Amino acid sequence: MSTVKLKNIIRGIRLFFISLFMTGLSCSESDNPPVEIIDPVEETTFTNPLVTGADPYVYKEGDTYYYMHTVGNAVRLWETPALEDLASATSKEVFKAAAGAPNSRNVWAPEIFKLEGKWYIYYTAGDGDDINQRTWVLENSNSDPMQGTWVDKGKIYNPNADFWAIDGTVMEHLGKTYFLWSGRPDKTNINLTQKIYISEMSNPWTLTGNVTLLSEPEYNWEQNGFGVNEAPEVLKGPNTQFMIYSASFCGTDDYALGMLTLKANGDPMVAEDWVKSDQPVFTKKPSANAFGPGHNSFFKSPDGTEDWLIYHANPNTGMGCSVNRTVRMQKFTFDSSGKPEFGEPVAIGMEVEKPSQN
């Protein structure tokens, strides 16, 4: 066979297979039209609980939420644009005291604030002996609290009342700054009753002047287990400020929220200018798997139009102050007189509308 004939045969075979291939493409395109790609629908709801944890706290700065809760032996900070996505939020250990230090054990209830252009974290800690629990301060001058260095500013206390103290928080009112905490009445630590105190601050790490007793357990619902008023949190209402606190021992299912209302033109340092509600404002709901709800914080929705409550609770009865506590959040409103209405705990697994977005 000549070379020319062989080349022609090979050429013909190539053309045949090319023809078959093109025919196949044509059939494939006609039998299977292009698939329309549909963008995923954004979820508009979330369910509680958000994470496992106790003593939740939130601070909103711009479009970012900074979140904290008790981790036991260190101070950890989370950041997220959406608290309903807290489980996937970025976190960082920002402080851990050296072993054996007076603030190295039982690290509880950290809270972050931006004061006088710097970041401050107030937290509870001790050396492992309960009688030595105190409130402490960290400072960071970086504009981003997830960056920079957190400096230990030491213990924040009044030298004349250096007693057991936990759950420190900050109140700003009419140009002055105040520190609130839960403490015991003397240094002996024999009387375990926890009361809420307030003192003015001369700077973010120093108290000045007198200490005022604002609230102590007086109603039966504040004395389950033993008498406790703790975890004060300040809530700014339309007309005045409120102090929401946790009452009764956290080891009981009846841990609940109580409320004090600052009178119009009242002085936060004058106990008589605070009016205490005679009933709790937020209590357990067994059908919602919410036992011992308390130690709360407040925040605004991303667009600033909604008020939200974040708190911890146990999912079942008898769990006490344990690692089983979980963090939940839900919206609340103010009534026509300007008082908060928290409603009742939302059930675990119930679909809840996400906070209103920008």
Determine contact, residues 314/253, Cβ cutoff 8 Å. yes
Active site residues: 55, 230
SS3 state of residue 311: strand
SS3 state of residue 84: helix
Dihedral-angle region of residue 318 (phi above 0 means left; psi in -120 to 50 means alpha; beta otherwise): left
Determine contact, residues 130/112, Cβ cutoff 8 Å. no
User: Measuring CA to CA, how many Å separate 300 from each of 83, 84, 85, 179?
Assistant: 11, 13, 16, 22
CA 213 – CA 24 distance, rounded (Å)? 87
Strand pairing report for 352-353 and 340-341: unpaired
CA dihedral 35, 39, 45, 47 (to 10 degrees): 70
SS3 state of residue 3: helix
